[in-house]
Amino acid sequence: MKALLATLTLLPILLWAVLKIVNGIMFEKDCEGYLKRAADANTINQAKKELTIALNYMENHGLIQGYTSVMYQTPDEDVAFWYNNIKSARTELEKVTDETTPLERTNILMKLRETLLDGGKEGSTVTVPSGISIYPNNVAYVWFGGIAFILFIISCTLWVILFDEWC
């Protein structure tokens, strides 16, 4: 019975981890990947197309306002700033006409790349607020993760007790 209980108390932390991973993959596939493609685009039309897909995802999933933080708000977790910045970038792309010179087009694409990407030790990464893949459920994930962690500690304790009993 203790072995079953110890095993069952591991399930919440495993479920929490799987949900975080799946949400991260889905966000990368359906939004972040398109932002990266927009940053890498060589033409205004291609960049506009990729940004539109990402913006549609943001709007359909409520990623347009609020903060991803749970305890306190910091500027790098401001969803509205991130969303509005990307939306403004698309607006700039829509202003391009046939009369826009190739140099101006290149400058617009370079500005877009700087808006969408951050440089780091590991190269360029897409600029997104931390925790955006689980937003707007960040608070629920913290609570679920905390409870799962407590159950994990209980599970580890039960396993130690069981191991001592078997020795």
How many domains would you assign to the chain?
A: 1
Residues 4/115, Cβ–Cβ less than 8 Å: no
Residue 53 has pLDDT above 90, yes or no: yes
CA dist 60 and 142 (Å) reads 23
What are 6's two structure tokens? 């110890």
Residue 167 has pLDDT above 70, yes or no: no
Write the DSSP string, 112-142: HHHHHEEEETTEEEE---TTGGGTT-HHHHH
- Three-state DSSP class for 78? strand
Residues 68/135, Cβ–Cβ less than 8 Å: yes
Q: Which residue in this structure is represented by tokens 């607006």?
A: 91
Residue 164 has pLDDT above 80, yes or no: no
Range of the domain at 71: 2-166
Largest CA distance in the chain: 82
Output the pTM of the full model.
Answer: 0.87
Q: Which range has the worst mean pLDDT, 32-46, 54-68, 112-126?
A: 112-126
Q: Sorting pLDDT into bands at 50, 70 and 90, what band is 19? A: very high
Residue 9 has pLDDT above 80, yes or no: no
Closest to 56 in 3D by CA, of 24, 87, 92: 87
Top pLDDT among 89 and 11 is at 89
Closest to 4 in 3D by CA, of 165, 166, 124, 162: 162
Phi, psi of 2 (to 5 degrees): -65, -40
Q: Sorting pLDDT into bands at 50, 70 and 90, what band is 23? A: very high
